[in-house]
Amino acid sequence: MQLQQLRYFLEIAKEKSISAAAKNLYISQPSLSQQIINLEKELGISLLIRHSKSVSLSEAGEQFLVHAQRIVGETTQLSELMHKHSILQEGTLRIGMLWIAGYINLFQVLADYRKLYTNLKYDLKIDGTSILLEQLLKRKLHSAFIIGSDEQFELQKDLFFRRIMMDRYVAVVSSGHPFAGKKSLSLRELHNVPVIMPSRASAFYRQLVQYFEQYHITPACICETSQSDAVVRLAAQNFGVGFSSDSIARSMQTKEFRIIPLEEVIVRRIYYVTLKELLDYPSIRSFTRYVTHYPFDRLNSEEKEPRKITK
């Protein structure tokens, strides 16, 4: 049984004439008659009662009509739904966003994209880089904005990635801190100095530890957190030296704390990442194309690589 045969049958049932139905369907009457005969043979029952100039439905034909109308109707609805998906009038984007997304205007990207495709829905996961990348690789997210490096993502052969932002890390200290008047700060100066370390799960934590080991110094860690609000507020209250990306620190700037550039150039790179296998899917292809062409405001006029660490 073919869907086209169901449509032929419905047209005949509507017109009560094979010749009239054939005219409406733009096929020859013999071809249409043969299609219905083939259908009846397959079903093992006559659907039509043929008269000299018209047809009527048999009892089986009446029941077949009800089911054929439902099947064709649902098939049409399904086809229309899939078409809506293809033209981005239907569907859900599952996107991973960093905790710091609000500070670096990543939500604005979504807002601008939503203006173009108002019928799409969004399912957002807000978390840290390690969790978002794990969710992406488990196919629980369609794409994510995360912190990383080219070297890291190149190891994942099934990922498409594009760097969209880069920023330098800075020190944040209370306005009353002894370092507050410095124009720059070296990590060498932090021996036995209270510091607010980033989370151990972050790449930034590992970079800081490498420098401390290289310089043979041990800062006095009072806590570990990558929550920007907590870092800045603790530093502003003179609990210790905090670390933040320059853009986030400036977005929270008050008279209570000072931002000091680090002499060791440590950068934070933010990437848009998705799975290569999803790039042919309309909504993911569209969103990926939009993000990779989005005019992100660069926070640094020049992109310097971090200083190499020698052990």
Residues 178-191: pLDDT tens digits?
999 999 999 999 99
> Looking at this protein, which amino acid is placed at residue 50?
R
Question: What pLDDT shows up at residue 10?
Answer: 96
Please check the confidence at residue 72 and state whether its pLDDT lies above 80. Answer: yes
pLDDT at position 201, please? 84
Say what the pLDDT of residue 296 is.
86
pLDDT of residue 145: 97
Q: Minimal CA–CA distance to 299: which of 98, 161, 153, 103?
A: 103
What pLDDT does 297 receive?
67
- Read off the CATH number of the domain in which 204 is found: 3.40.190.290
Question: Do 284 and 143 fall within a single domain?
Answer: yes
The CATH number for 123's domain is: 3.40.190.10
Q: Give the rounded percent of residues in the chain with a pLDDT score beyond 70.
A: 95
pLDDT reported for residue 52:
87
Burial class (CB in 10 A: 0-12, 13-18, 19+), 248: buried
Report pLDDT digits (tens) over 148-172.
999 999 999 999 999 999 999 999 9
Question: Tens digit of pLDDT for each residue in 22-47?
Answer: 999 999 999 999 999 999 999 999 99
Q: Which domain holds residue 117?
A: 92-164+275-292
- What is the DSSP annotation of 119-170? T-EEEEEEE-HHHHHHHHHTTS-SEEEEE--HHHHHT-TTEEEEEEEEEEEE
For residue 299, being part of any structural domain is answered with no
Backbone angles phi, psi at 138, to 5 degrees: -85, 5
Calculate mean pLDDT across residues 67-90. Answer: 89
The whole-number average pLDDT for the span 286-308 is 66
Residue 308 or residue 58, greater confidence: 58
Mean per-residue pLDDT over the chain, rounded: 92
Tell me the sheet residues that pair with 261.
170
- CB contact set of 49 (below 8 Å; sequence gap of 6+): 55, 56, 57, 58, 61
Does position 133 have pLDDT exceeding 80, yes or no?
A: yes
Distance CA 282, CA 303 (A): 33
Q: Indicate if 261 and 199 belong to the same structural domain.
A: yes
Residues 6+ apart with CB under 8 A from 55: 12, 16, 17, 18, 48, 49
Same domain, 175 and 253: yes
43 dihedral zone (left: phi>0; alpha: psi -120 to 50; beta): alpha
Give the number of domains in the chain. 3
pTM of the model: 0.75
Residues 41 and 111 in one domain: no
Residues 74, 200: one domain?
no
